[in-house]
C-alpha cells in the first residue's frame, strides 16, 4: 500500500512508524525540514519538504499512484484542502483528515464531507477522542488504561498490581480454575518496563502492570479480584477549559452517569467561552496550580481530578498537587510518552495520551480485512485489533488451539451473535464472529494476513 502522510509531528510520525514497519510504501510531507529529516533518518520512509496542500508537492510525494492520504498537519484548513486536491487532481481513493475545530464536527454540517463538496472519507477529532478516553478512565476507576470493544460489551483495562492483590504468585491457568465464571482474560503484562503476552504458566507479581479483557458486566468483580476499587466517580474537577476540557465537560453533562463537574481555567477569555457553552457545569477563573483555587473548588471532597491543559508539565504538577491535597483519583493528559515514567513517583493514577488515541483512531481506518477497531498500547508496542471473521479467512471454522497465531498474539474476547464469550483453546472461531486480539507490534502484519480475505479494502 502506498500512503502519503501530511504532517510529520507526533501523530504523523507515529502513523509513519506503524505503516513503514509493516512494509508499506510511506512518504512523509511537511514544511518543516527538521521534522522530515527526523522521519527519514529514523524510519524507512521517503520525505518531501513543502506545503501539503500544494499540488506540485503532492505530485512529488507520489500522489499519482497513491492508495491513501492522511492529512494530519496542525492546520484544519490545510488538511481539508489537501484532501480536496488529493481527490480532484490525483483521484486518491482514501482520504483521512484530522480536524480539531469542533464546528467542523457538528452533525448539522455533515453534508460538507460528501464527495461533491469536501471529499474526506474519514474525519478524526482528537479532542473528542481524548474526551472519550478521559471519560472511560473515570468509568473504570483504579485503572491506568481502558478502552471499550465489541459494541461496548467488552472492556480492556490496565491495572497496576500492589502487594495486597489476592492473586499474586498465581499461574494464569489457575485463575481460570479459581474463577470459572469470570469472563476475563489477562492478555498482556508489563514487567520491569517490558511488555509481553503471557503464557498460561506465567505468574503475576507486585508492581506488574496487567492488561485484562473483561465483559463489562464483570468489570466490578474483575477489579475486585485484582485488588482494585470499583467505586464510581460522581464529583470531578477539570483543569483546563480549552477544547479537550470543554469536550469532557459537555460529555459529562450529556451522560447518564450524573457526574457533577467544575472547570478551572486560567485564561479569562477561554473561561468565559466555556461558561457560555456549558449549562450545568461551574467554571472558575484561576490557576489550577494555585492551592487556594483547588481548595475553593473543594479538592478534598471530589472523587477525581482531570488535568487536561495544553501543557504536559502543568498537568503532571496539578495532578500531583491534587493527590497530595487528598483527591483519591487524579488523571493527567500527557502528550510526551517519556514523561509517563513520572506517573509512579508523582503518585498519579492514570494518564491520557492524545497522540495514542488519535493514532488508534486513524489505524482503525487503514487496517486491511474487516477491522472494526484498533487501540494502540504503550509507545506503539502493541495493539488491540477488533475484527469480524469472514468465511475465506484462514482462521474461520478453526479452534483457537489449531490456529497458528504468532507467540505475541492472544484472543481477548469473542462476540458470537449477540453474546460475548470468554475464549479458550477449544473455542471455535466461526464466520461472522467478532474477535478482539492482543498482538505485539511486530506481529500485526501476520494478524492482518490471518484476518484478510481479499484486497477489497479500497
> Both 16 and 109 in a single domain?
yes
**Tell me: the pLDDT tens digits for 21-55?**
778 899 999 999 999 999 999 999 999 999 999 99
Would you say residue 351 lies in a domain?
yes
Among the three residues 124, 150, 183, which one is the final residue of a domain in this structure? 124
Would you say residue 117 lies in a domain?
yes
176-180, 184-188, 279-283: range with lowest mean pLDDT: 176-180
> Which of 243, 249, 248 has the alpha carbon at shortest distance from 267?
243
Measured distance CA(320)–CA(297) in Å, rounded: 16
The mean pLDDT value for 300-326 works out to 92
**Tell me: the pLDDT tens digits for 228-284?**
876 667 899 999 998 889 988 988 888 776 788 999 999 999 999 999 999 989 999
Mean per-residue pLDDT of the chain:
87
Please tell me which residue, 364 or 216, carries the higher pLDDT value: 216
Residue 458 has pLDDT above 50, yes or no: no
Measured distance CA(405)–CA(401) in Å, rounded: 9
> Both 300 and 395 in a single domain?
no
Domain count for the chain: 3
CATH code, domain carrying 86: 3.40.50.720
CATH code, domain carrying 363: 3.30.70.1450
Strand (E) or helix (H) holding 72: none
H-assigned helices in 101-218: 126-139, 172-178
Please tell me which residue, 367 or 399, carries the higher pLDDT value: 399
> Both 8 and 98 in a single domain?
yes
Strand (E) or helix (H) holding 69: strand 68-71
pLDDT at res. 147: 87
pLDDT at res. 455: 39
> Both 346 and 421 in a single domain?
no
83-87, 101-105, 226-230, 332-336: range with lowest mean pLDDT: 101-105
Residue 108 has pLDDT above 70, yes or no: no
Would you say residue 385 lies in a domain?
yes
Would you say residue 197 lies in a domain?
no
pLDDT at res. 95: 93
Would you say residue 219 lies in a domain?
no
Residue pair 48/27 in contact (Cβ under 8 Å)? The answer is yes
> Both 351 and 361 in a single domain?
no
The mean pLDDT value for 392-416 works out to 91
pLDDT at res. 319: 94
pLDDT at res. 9: 87
Measured distance CA(174)–CA(419) in Å, rounded: 25
> Both 374 and 441 in a single domain?
yes
> Both 330 and 340 in a single domain?
yes
pLDDT at res. 141: 66
pLDDT at res. 267: 95
> Which of 137, 191, 60 has the alpha carbon at shortest distance from 308?
137
- Confidence band of 454 (pLDDT split at 50, 70, 90): very low
Burial of 289 (0-12, 13-18, 19+ CB in 10 A): middle
Strand (E) or helix (H) holding 317: helix 312-324
> Both 59 and 78 in a single domain?
yes
pLDDT at res. 29: 97
Among the three residues 86, 101, 124, which one is the final residue of a domain in this structure? 124
pLDDT at res. 220: 87
pLDDT at res. 362: 80
pLDDT at res. 240: 94
Tell me what percent of the residues of the chain surpass a pLDDT of 70.
95
**Phi and psi for 263 in degrees, rounded to 5?**
-110, 130
pLDDT at res. 182: 92
Instruction: Decide the pairing of beta strands 434-440 and 382-388.
Output: antiparallel
> Both 433 and 362 in a single domain?
yes
> Both 344 and 246 in a single domain?
yes
pLDDT at res. 232: 67
Beta-bridge partners for 360: none
Domain assignment of residue 324, given as a range? 235-356
Would you say residue 192 lies in a domain?
no
pLDDT at res. 457: 37
> Both 55 and 73 in a single domain?
yes
Burial of 337 (0-12, 13-18, 19+ CB in 10 A): middle
> Which of 300, 321, 254 has the alpha carbon at shortest distance from 281?
254
List C-alpha distances in Å: 429 to 225, 421, 424, 454.
28, 11, 11, 19
Would you say residue 104 lies in a domain?
yes
> Both 332 and 393 in a single domain?
no
Among the three residues 324, 339, 356, which one is the final residue of a domain in this structure? 356
Amino acid at each position: 500500500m502506498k500512503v502519503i502522510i501530511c504532517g510529520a509531528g507526533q501523530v504523523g510520525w507515529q502513523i509513519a512508524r506503524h505503516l513503514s514497519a509493516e512494509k508499506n510504501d510511506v512518504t512523509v510531507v511537511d514544511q518543516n525540514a527538521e521534522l522530515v529529516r527526523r522521519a527519514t533518518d529514523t524510519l524507512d520512509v521517503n520525505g518531501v519538504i513543502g506545503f501539503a496542500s500544494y499540488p506540485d508537492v503532492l505530485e512529488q510525494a507520489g500522489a499519482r499512484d497513491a492508495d491513501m492520504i492522511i492529512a494530519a498537519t496542525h492546520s484544519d484548513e490545510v488538511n481539508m484542502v489537501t484532501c480536496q486536491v488529493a481527490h480532484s487532481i490525483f483521484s486518491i481513493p482514501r482520504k483521512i483528515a484530522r480536524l480539531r475545530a469542533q464546528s467542523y464536527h457538528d452533525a448539522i454540517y455533515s453534508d460538507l464531507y460528501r464527495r461533491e463538496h469536501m471529499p474526506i472519507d474519514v474525519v478524526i477529532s482528537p479532542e473528542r477522542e481524548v474526551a472519550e478516553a478521559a471519560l472511560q478512565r473515570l468509568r473504570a476507576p483504579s485503572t491506568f488504561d481502558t478502552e471499550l470493544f465489541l459494541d461496548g460489551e467488552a472492556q480492556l483495562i490496565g491495572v497496576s498490581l500492589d502487594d495486597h492483590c489476592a492473586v499474586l504468585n498465581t499461574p494464569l491457568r489457575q485463575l481460570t480454575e479459581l474463577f470459572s465464571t469470570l469472563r476475563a482474560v489477562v492478555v498482556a503484562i508489563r514487567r520491569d518496563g517490558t511488555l509481553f503476552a503471557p503464557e498460561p504458566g506465567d505468574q503475576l507479581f507486585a508492581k506488574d502492570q496487567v492488561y485484562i479483557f473483561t465483559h463489562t458486566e464483570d468489570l466490578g468483580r474483575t477489579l475486585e479480584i485484582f485488588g482494585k476499587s470499583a467505586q464510581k466517580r460522581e464529583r470531578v474537577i477539570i483543569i483546563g477549559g480549552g477544547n479537550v476540557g470543554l469536550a469532557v465537560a459537555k460529555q459529562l453533562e450529556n451522560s447518564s452517569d450524573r457526574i457533577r463537574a467544575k472547570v478551572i481555567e486560567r485564561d479569562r477569555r477561554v473561561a468565559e467561552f466555556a461558561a457560555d457553552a456549558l449549562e450545568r457545569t461551574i467554571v472558575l477563573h484561576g490557576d489550577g496550580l494555585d492551592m487556594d483555587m483547588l481548595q475553593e473548588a473543594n479538592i478534598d471532597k471530589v472523587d477525581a481530578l482531570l488535568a487536561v491543559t495544553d501543557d504536559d508539565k502543568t498537568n503532571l504538577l496539578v495532578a500531583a498537587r491534587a493527590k497530595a491535597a487528598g483527591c483519591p483519583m487524579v488523571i493527567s493528559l500527557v502528550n510526551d510518552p517519556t514523561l509517563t515514567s513520572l506517573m509512579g513517583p508523582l503518585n498519579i493514577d492514570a494518564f491520557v495520551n492524545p497522540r495514542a488515541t488519535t493514532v488508534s483512531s486513524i489505524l482503525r481506518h487503514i487496517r486491511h480485512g474487516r477491522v472494526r477497531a484498533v487501540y494502540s498500547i504503550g509507545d506503539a508496542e502493541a495493539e488491540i485489533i477488533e475484527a469480524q471473521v469472514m468465511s475465506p479467512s484462514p482462521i474461520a471454522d478453526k479452534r483457537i488451539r489449531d490456529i497458528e497465531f504468532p507467540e505475541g498474539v492472544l484472543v481477548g474476547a469473542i462476540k458470537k451473535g449477540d453474546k460475548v464469550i470468554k475464549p479458550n483453546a477449544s473455542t471455535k472461531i466461526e464466520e461472522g464472529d467478532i474477535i478482539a486480539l492482543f498482538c505485539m507490534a511486530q506481529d500485526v502484519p501476520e494478524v492482518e494476513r490471518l484476518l484478510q480475505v481479499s484486497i477489497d479494502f479500497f
